[in-house]
Amino acid sequence: MARRIIVIGANAAGVEAASAARKKDRAAEITLLTQEKIAGYSRCGLPFVIGGQIPDFKNLIVYPPAYFQMLKLNLKTETKVIAIDVKTKSVTCVDNSGATLTLPYDSLIIATGADAFMPPIKGREKAGIYSLRTIEDGERIRQAVQNGAKSAVIMGAGLIGLETGVALVERGLKVTIVEMLPQILPQMLDADMAKLVQEHLQEKGMVILTGKTVEEFLGEDKVTAIVASGEKIEADLFISAFGVRANTKLAVDAGIPLGESRAIKTNSRMETDVRDVYAVGDCAEAPNIITHKAVCPQLGTIAVREGKVAGANAAGDYSQFTGVLASAVTRLFEIEAGVTGLTENAATRNRIEVVTGAITSKTKADYYPSAKPVRVKLVVEKESQRIIGGQVVGGEEITQRINALSFAIQKQMTVRELAKADTAYAPPLNETWDPLVLAAEMVLMKLR
């Protein structure tokens, strides 16, 4: 009898898991269940459709219906899973016609993702508060802009909040960012690096208010203003970017344990504590490569890697997930920012004694006409001198530097070894001394 594999969720992690399972088992019956109308699209691209860089939301569809047909994957859209029974190994769902179905499985992969989070703020039940998580969310925000919105308040200065803010400025809106913490990008950058990004955004006309807590939504039926730390801020458009929370309800109701990160607990094969049940993506936790603590960074790159491992294992193969560094990059107007490993703040929270080094250089030879500034910060464990984190902010060439630092951390390179790295040079491409090497030299000076 053919193996029956069910995947709950049909975006990055879910589709990758189903695809990996099909590669390992050509005869398996593989079913994907998703509440959304559209499957297999890139959530990360949503702000760039709003900003106009990408023509339409349909351009974000990475896996069209033909892909699922080609791999013989049974995709059920607009289908809500209401229960998992781990004793009978079955899933109960309701399809778009209202019919209730019970589907048996041999292997189950939970890829339920995460939901936009809204704190318990007074007036949050009022209409007119948007979030950006799905294509439908993106269409609503774009429609509000087309309907004549002239100003927007975005609550939260993480990646999605800032990328959406940039998109709306590019559409001609006056944008105010309200962030509870004292800096923007608090999960991604240390304060000294975040300051460079904030200054660039402010130069582009974005109003950024840090250290402000949203206390109330004002308006009769529809929100017309917020109160943030006693200050009233009016706008036409209000976007909640407080962050997301792992969607674990189905797992909890089925008795599948959560881990210390409050996402679904998994092992190195992405197995949960229940036999033949796997969890991947934004709802699942994985170990941090440096601290070995369970974390849930909720990044697309991590989701697809976890999906590949779980899919192979669900189909009877053996594969392991090695952990995460939570490497991430973004572009905001003309500035790029990236991180890999631990920030200085995160290292301190994990009681790791570190030495840091930062340097400002150029992306090309200083005399080359289009050379742009770039700043590199390294975080090094003091005792072992191993690199455990890096941040880069500048005008260009950020991603490959972050990738290089990610490789260095994974191979447990010391800062002394990085300082001796053999790097390439040409006036239109790089400085004689790469900024990564110069930052390593700064750390060595402190260690001496």
Residue 447, number of CB atoms within 10 A of its CB: 13
Sheet holding 354-362, edge to edge: 328-332, 335-341, 387-394, 373-381, 354-362
Sign of CA dihedral 302, 103, 96, 315: positive
Question: Pick from 238, 178, 176, 187: which is nearest to 210 by CA?
Answer: 178
Yes or no: say if 361 and 435 are a contact pair by the CB < 8 Å rule: yes
The CA distance from 126 to 134, in Å, is 20
Yes or no: say if 404 and 421 are a contact pair by the CB < 8 Å rule: no
Among 44, 93, 283, 296, which one carries the catalytic annotation?
Answer: 44
DSSP state letter for 43: G
Residue 31, number of CB atoms within 10 A of its CB: 20
Question: Pick from 275, 240, 280: which is nearest to 263 by CA?
Answer: 280
∠ Cα 271 256 36 (to 5°): 85
Q: Where are the beta strands (DSSP E) in 224-353?
A: 225-228, 231-234, 237-240, 244-246, 277-279, 286-287, 294-295, 328-332, 335-341
Yes or no: say if 389 and 344 are a contact pair by the CB < 8 Å rule: yes
Sign of CA dihedral 292, 267, 285, 341: positive
Query: Does residue 44 carry a catalytic annotation?
Result: yes
Query: With b meaning 16 or more CB within 10 Å and e meaning fewer, what string describes 205-231?
Result: ebebbbebebeebeeeeebbbbbbeee
Could you give the residue numbers annotated as active site? 44
